[in-house]
Amino acid sequence: MKAICWALLFAALAPTAAVAQLAPTNGFTEVDAARFRKLDATLGRWQCQDHPAGSTADTIVTTREGNFYVSRETSGAPHTTYTRWSHALQRYIATTLYDAGGTFIFTTTSEDPNNATWMPVFPPPGMMTATQMLQSYTVRTAGETMTFAQRYYDAMQVLQSGSAVCTRTS
């Protein structure tokens, strides 16, 4: 579960090569476009180190594909995350699809998605046991480093605290 949480955390925010023009339409204002472009700050290839250390280092590569920033992690718990600004909901949304079949959704209304608290919205309470529930997480970005912090349940169902420090490699 810890690997899944950390993989989701970073992938939700780790977009890579930007397309020249903004693709989102459907009522996007200049304010919406500016909010959407804030996700450009996380473009690139990132190496992440979990604390406490996981079994493998996380590598995440993200591309800007039309209306979404698409992040692919191939180590740990492989998954793909689609992140964007929603004009209709006035919040950032990150939807993660795991190769193993899980799906998680996090959102934030922060002005800066790269320095924010992201809240879990799916699966909702009632679909998971108390020790399976996702916890909110924080992300802080400074230059070429992103740091994530989250509480999670370990294999013994004990609530733990952890972090991941990710460094841009390209």
* Residue 89 to residue 65: CA distance in whole angstroms: 21
- Is it true that the peptide bond before 120 is cis, omega within 30 degrees of 0? no
Structure tokens at 111: 């002005």
Please report, as a single letter, which amino acid is at residue 119: M
Structure tokens at 156: 């013994």
- Digit-coded pLDDT (tens) for 51-95: 887 767 789 888 899 889 999 988 778 999 999 999 999 999 999
84 and 12 Cβ atoms separated by less than 8 Å: no
Class of the CATH domain delimited by 2-168? mainly beta
Q: Interior CA angle at 4 toward 2 and 55, to 5°?
A: 60
End-to-end CA separation in angstroms for the chain: 28
Residue where the block lists tokens 């841009």: 168
Please report, as a single letter, which amino acid is at residue 28: F
Question: Which residues neighbour 167 within 8 Å (Cβ) at sequence distance 6 or greater?
Answer: 46, 47, 48, 144, 145
Cα-Cα-Cα-Cα torsion 125, 75, 39, 115, nearest 10 degrees, comes to 60
- Digit-coded pLDDT (tens) for 87-137: 999 999 999 999 999 899 999 999 999 999 999 999 987 888 877 888 999
Residues in the chain: 170
Q: How confident is the model at residue 44 (pLDDT cuts 50, 70, 90)?
A: very high
Structure tokens at 95: 């939807």
Supply the pTM of this predicted model: 0.81
Task: List, in sequence order, every residue forming a beta bridge with 83; answer none if it has no partner.
Answer: 69, 94
